[in-house]
A and B are shown apart, each in its own frame.
Chain A
Amino acid sequence: MEVTPQPRPAPAEPPRPSLVPRLPEPALSEELRRLRTLLPAHLASSVTSGTELVRALEKGRRDGFIPTTLEGVDTLLAGGLPRGSLVELVSRRASGRFSIVLSALSAASSLGEAVALIDLGDHFDPQLAEANGVDLRRLLWVRPRNAKQAVMSAEMLAATGFQLVVVEMGLHPVRGRRAPDAAWVRLARTAESHGTSMLVSSPYPLTGTASEAVVKGCGTRAQWLGGGRSPRLLAGLTMELALEKHRHQKAGRHASVIVTASDAQSLFRKQNPRAAG
């Protein structure tokens, strides 16, 4: 995996505006407050109530990231796929979109999270996904027939509690009519209220204003081994990605990611030690 040098460090993340109204948190119990005042400062800070503990754990579950483990993508998104948000990955001509999807599924399933792939184009290859580290037991594979079914399925799965839902819209043209903008806004709200990371991978922008971030594939360079009279072997791809939109980061930054073909991986590593794996 290779990352291009970043022009500027990412600015500090401002507080995220919420689409869902938060309920006011109940005040601390009087007994706990009294106990903390009686204890020395270093002990008082480590005394916690069950409610606070559960709330902190819940907050941790909702506010974190699910890393894709592809450094270029994680750097652009300031850590990975944010929980409770919708991120769109757009690329038509350039390749590499599905590789990022598989990496995200692999990383999330390795964390023990329940993940779902909504595969509109019916392109998923279980053997390759398993080879890439996806825990197939934790992956729910859904194969809708059109865009509307895909969005409805994603909403249902987010509401069920899946921590990562990937909506893979397939190749151009997207099967079925486009889902209305309101459907994407609703999907983003569902993701936010359930703390789900929602990744929409599509050949052209679909989600409009509903997405937290949009990463666009700008170009692809295929890596071939061999030349001249020696046989050629596809070794991998170098993807150029750009952060087209982000609610809390500066857009316009670029990164590149290298993925290797499974057959040529060992051979390719010798020639390109910076490759992923």
Chain B
Amino acid sequence: MTRIACIYVPLFPLAARLRSEPDLLQEALAIVDGNGSGAHVVAATRRARTKGIHPGMSLAQARAIVPKLIARGRDPECERTAQEALFEVAETFSPRIEDAGDGVVYVDVTGMRRHFEKPAEVANDDETSIATLTCAERALGSAVIDAAAKIGLPVRTGIAASKLAARVAAELPKSPVVVEAGKESEFLAPLPLARLTPQLDASATLTRWGIASIGELAKLPESEVASRLGEIGRELHHAARGIDPRPLIPRTIPPDFREGMDLEWPLVALEPFLFIANAALDRLAKRMEIQGFACRRLELTLNLEPDGFHARGIDLPAPTRDVKTMLTLLRLDLEKNPPGAPVVGFTLVAHPDRPRRAQLSLFGPAALSPEKLATTIARLISMLGDGRVGMAVAVDGHLPERYDISDYAPPPPPDRRPEVRKSRGLLAVRVFRPPVSVEVMTREANGELQIESVRGEGDLSGNVRVSSGPWRIESGWWSDAPAAREYWDIELERGGIYRLYQAVDPAEWFVDARYD
């Protein structure tokens, strides 16, 4: 027997807005649709409703009742992200979910109730069995409500055998509501006809007939209703009898996570924007955590005033859900590439990836936690900049200053602690990047060129005690940037052994390393 749960967000435009701006929950707030004199209220907070504001009222009428009413326009971006967040909550319970739009999601929960049965609730007979199943489904509905509350969405749930009954059950104020299988018509019968959300024309006609409840409509002959109201009447009559042949159509899983909002006024400074972006990133991180994902790439699209947009993409060094890291990277990127116009809206898109996992060893050297390492590297890159953190790579070539840096991904440590390998005890060099320009005095002794003294900055000055060289290096003579150098090792009388070279063209001297 198919069981469908309907997750319903009452006053969805308001709930989506409050998810982005939770501080407004206690205020007299109205969500309005339309512009100018055509603006009308579509939803209002409890405080506004108690003062007489209700949907359908024009904004002018509402302001006349509550002069300090806060009015916010409907924000499609907020509503879209709230809907996506709702999907993600639903997906934690079942992979088969259907998007019904505007804060409504259907979830296939067939067979799931056994996960919510308590061990004591072992059914002995049919009656107890049904009571147990209902109880388990109610626990499932409560779990859905709790999960949605964690991401800032107040939801109601209804569970039934058809989408229609589940939807009607979810719209009832006391949630969760469970409709037993085969009892849909009994459940619907006492409810007012408005719960079926009939077409306006048909609704007026039915009211003229004196039909007030769903049960009264169900008692009418189907053919008579169909002959008077047409196809709509037939569908309505089927719905009133609890017949809903529509199957659940599962949605395809989107490849990314989005958060964003339209701003009430344009932002020109970075700090206020980062304040809002922080909250959006926090929501993204929570959504990814629910799915077991981490962010591998973050894309930001800024809507600019009066038109146009500014898009940026940030590749994270490793998948992470650390909000502070992502925010710092965002800040650095925007400081480097400012949008150039006031910002009136933004969208953040997180491309997910699986966080790195590893089995830590008990007897070998302590391994690094992949997730912790990823976060640390991302923080270091955000602090130091690109190309300043990573794994050093030895590069083939002849010029001594060559190097490369790549992503740091250490191999797992050995299972057993190996014996320490003795270092070769090589004399190290400190490479100077870039090489330091110096003046060099040379002399000829015994037919050989020798370096007499060096004059440069700081410690790089003095008479030379021993000089050794030259060694000639020619590299890249076939390329556009050939290098021809003559290298020398020198020891200064005041201390310090340096490696210096004379570039052939132009004939300048540089110190490129110190033996240390």
Name B499's closest neighbour in chain A (CB-CB): A234
Binds A, one of B80-88, B194-202, B490-498: B490-498
Given contacts A57-B362, A95-B497, A220-B495, contact A107 B426 (CB under 8 A): no
> Size class of B's contact patch?
35 or more
Binds B, one of A23-31, A33-41, A253-261: A253-261
Name A140's closest neighbour in chain B (CB-CB): B408
Binds B, one of A13-21, A119-127, A175-183: A119-127
Which residues of A sit under 8 angstroms from B491, Cβ to Cβ? 222, 224
> Size class of A's contact patch?
35 or more
Which residues of A sit under 8 angstroms from B377, Cβ to Cβ? 140
Please tell me if the beta carbons of A127 and B394 are within 8 angstroms of each other in the complex.
yes
Name the distance in Å between B94's Cβ and chain A's nearest Cβ: 37
Residue of B413, B425, B446 ringed by the most chain A CB atoms within 10 A:
B425
Which one, B395, B425, B468, B516, contacts A232 given CB within 8 A?
B468
Name the distance in Å between A91's Cβ and chain B's nearest Cβ: 9
Number of A-B residue pairs with CB-CB distance less than 8 Å in the complex they form: 229
Which residues of B sit under 8 angstroms from A204, Cβ to Cβ? none
Q: Does B467 have its Cβ within 8 Å of any Cβ on chain A?
A: yes
Name the distance in Å between B448's Cβ and chain A's nearest Cβ: 8
Name A227's closest neighbour in chain B (CB-CB): B466
Please tell me if the beta carbons of B423 and A140 are within 8 angstroms of each other in the complex.
no
- Interface SS of B by simple majority: loop
Which one, A69, A136, A143, A195, contacts B388 given CB within 8 A?
A143
Name the distance in Å between A268's Cβ and chain B's nearest Cβ: 10
Which residues of A sit under 8 angstroms from B388, Cβ to Cβ? 142-144
Given contacts A54-B362, A98-B516, A129-B392, contact A171 B420 (CB under 8 A): no
Name the distance in Å between B201's Cβ and chain A's nearest Cβ: 67
Which residues of B sit under 8 angstroms from A106, Cβ to Cβ? 421, 423-424
Binds A, one of B144-152, B265-273, B379-387: B379-387
Which one, B411, B420, B427, B489, contacts A138 given CB within 8 A?
B411
Which residues of B sit under 8 angstroms from A69, Cβ to Cβ? 420-423, 425
Given contacts A138-B411, A156-B376, A276-B424, contact A124 B515 (CB under 8 A): no
Binds A, one of B244-252, B255-263, B429-437: B429-437
A121 CA to B430 CA in the complex, in Å?
9
Which one, B362, B379, B391, B420, contacts A111 given CB within 8 A?
B420
Name B363's closest neighbour in chain A (CB-CB): A57
Which residues of B sit under 8 angstroms from A262, Cβ to Cβ? 426-427
Name the distance in Å between A250's Cβ and chain B's nearest Cβ: 26
Which residues of A sit under 8 angstroms from B426, Cβ to Cβ? 99, 102, 128, 131-132, 259-262, 265, 277
Please tell me if the beta carbons of B420 and A136 are within 8 angstroms of each other in the complex.
no
Name the distance in Å between A71's Cβ and chain B's nearest Cβ: 10
A265 CA to B426 CA in the complex, in Å?
8
Given contacts A142-B380, A143-B384, contact A123 B431 (CB under 8 A): yes
A78 CA to B363 CA in the complex, in Å?
25
A143 CA to B403 CA in the complex, in Å?
13
Q: Does B459 have its Cβ within 8 Å of any Cβ on chain A?
A: yes
Q: Does A85 have its Cβ within 8 Å of any Cβ on chain B?
A: no
Residue of B414, B422, B513 ringed by the most chain A CB atoms within 10 A:
B422
Please tell me if the beta carbons of A172 and B459 are within 8 angstroms of each other in the complex.
yes
Binds A, one of B19-27, B180-188, B205-213, B365-373: B365-373
Which residues of B sit under 8 angstroms from A231, Cβ to Cβ? 468
Which residues of B sit under 8 angstroms from A102, Cβ to Cβ? 423, 426, 428
Q: Does B219 have its Cβ within 8 Å of any Cβ on chain A?
A: no
List 8 A-B pairs, Cβ < 8 Å.
A70-B423, A102-B423, A110-B418, A122-B433, A127-B402, A136-B391, A140-B391, A258-B425
Residues of B within 8 A of A (CB): 362-369, 372-373, 376-377, 379-380, 383-384, 388-395, 400, 402-405, 408-411, 413-414, 417-418, 420-433, 446, 458-459, 466-468, 489, 491, 494-497, 513-516
Residues of A within 8 A of B (CB): 1, 54, 57, 61, 67-70, 93-99, 101-103, 106-107, 110-114, 121-133, 136-145, 149, 152-153, 156-157, 159-163, 170-173, 195, 220, 222, 224, 226, 229, 231-234, 236-237, 257-262, 265, 275-277
